[in-house]
Amino acid sequence: MRCAQQLQAQFRIHNADKEATEQIHVRIGIHLGDIVQKEGDVFGDGVNIASRLQGLAEPDTICISHVVYKEIEKKLSLGMVVSLGRPKLKNIAERFQVHALLPEAPTGLRQTLRVQHLKLSRLVRPVHHMMVAALVLVAGIIATVLYSSPPIPSTQSSTPSPQSLPLPDKPSLAVLPFTNISGDPEQEYFSDGLTEDLITDLSKLSNLFVIARNSVFTYKGKAVKAEEVRKELVDCSVNNSTN
């Protein structure tokens, strides 16, 4: 494991001052299991699983099986660890937890969304990859609409409106509930889980004010316009920030 980390670190140093055509990006897969040695080569499920994990990894990352993770989690500094769920590995009957080790934690909205895409691209079937990418893109567009539009002042009442109260001193962002378009009610947990994971991860960014889950889930299953949602959630965020 240390060898893999050092390899990736050296490649990052190598790539720092190189043109794109001269850079080296590698994927590493690590598994712990039985192997068979024969005529200077190795065979067996241990080798096959490590190979499949290497195929799951993104460039510049390390992908490890859960058995490896349990052995090293308290012994080595692993950096940013992302669970990839229990993906189906080609020609491997057993399904087990898989983890990806990233070089560093996400520091902004774009990087956070890339981490979410990494998680989801391994949890769903390949035919759904395009749908997942579209959903994440839609989340980014909705979020941009919500926090880039200025509050609309109220002129219809002399009673002070919530918008006259202090707003959060950072951009306000909301992730609206995704819709389950599979037609299978048993897949509802997936669309809800996607929404909740995005809310949780984005709320860790100190430069964003993220609307709470309870507020956005009131829109679940409803056909709403982004502008109407923005107005309502501005009121909600103001009230929450002053309580």
Q: Give tens-digit pLDDT for 161-170.
A: 444 445 566 7
pLDDT surpassing 80 at residue 190: no
| Residue ranges of the chain assigned to CATH 3.30.70.1230 | 2-105
Q: Mind listing the pLDDT tens digit for each residue in 1-24?
A: 999 999 999 999 999 999 988 999
- Please provide the DSSP assignment of 5-69 as one string: HHHHHHHHHHHHTS-GGG-----EEE-----EEETTEEESHHHHHHHHHHHHSPTT-EEEEHHHH
208 close to 202: Cβ distance less than 8 angstroms: yes
Whether the predicted pLDDT of 198 surpasses 60 = yes
pLDDT score at 125: 43
Identify the CATH number of the domain defined by range 2-105: 3.30.70.1230
Assign 146 a pLDDT band (cuts: 50, 70, 90): low
Residue 54 has pLDDT above 70, yes or no: yes
Specify which of 206-210, 218-222, 227-231 reaches the highest per-range mean pLDDT.
Answer: 218-222
| Band of pLDDT at residue 28, cut at 50, 70 and 90 | very high
For residue 228, name the pLDDT band (cuts at 50, 70, 90). Answer: confident
Q: If 0-12 CB within 10 Å is exposed, 13-18 middle and 19+ buried, where does residue 147 land?
A: buried
